Amino acid sequence: MQNIPETGFIDLFQIIGCPAVTPEDAAENKRNGKGLKRPRPATVGILPVCRSSFLAGVKKGIYPAPVKFGRRTFWRSEDIRKLIQRES
């Protein structure tokens, strides 16, 4: 499957993707003190949903529950693989 490890954990942005941050956007974010402060390319997610829809689906039980490690939140790659197989 699409760059999903056989075992382990993946974070939310690997699941839903991230928009690009241009150097101009990063400079503006630094001035405002909000948002990402470094440029980066866009990444394509595994599932075509936005962050709020995915987290609402987790709350409703549509998507798998996360695992917390300290302040970070991850999902088991096995659970995401099962979700993709179920949706196909």
Q: Confirm whether 58 is domain-assigned.
A: yes
Q: Which domain holds residue 44?
A: 9-87
75 or 44, which is more confident: 75
Which pLDDT tens digit goes with each residue over 38-51? 999 999 998 999 99
| Cα–Cα nearest to 85, from 58, 55, 60, 64 | 64
Which pLDDT tens digit goes with each residue over 5-17? 889 999 999 999 9
Instruction: Answer whether 9's CB lies under 8 Å from 77's CB.
Output: yes
pLDDT of 74 higher than 70? yes
- pTM score of the predicted model: 0.79
Q: Confirm whether 72 is domain-assigned.
A: yes
Tally of structural domains, the chain = 1
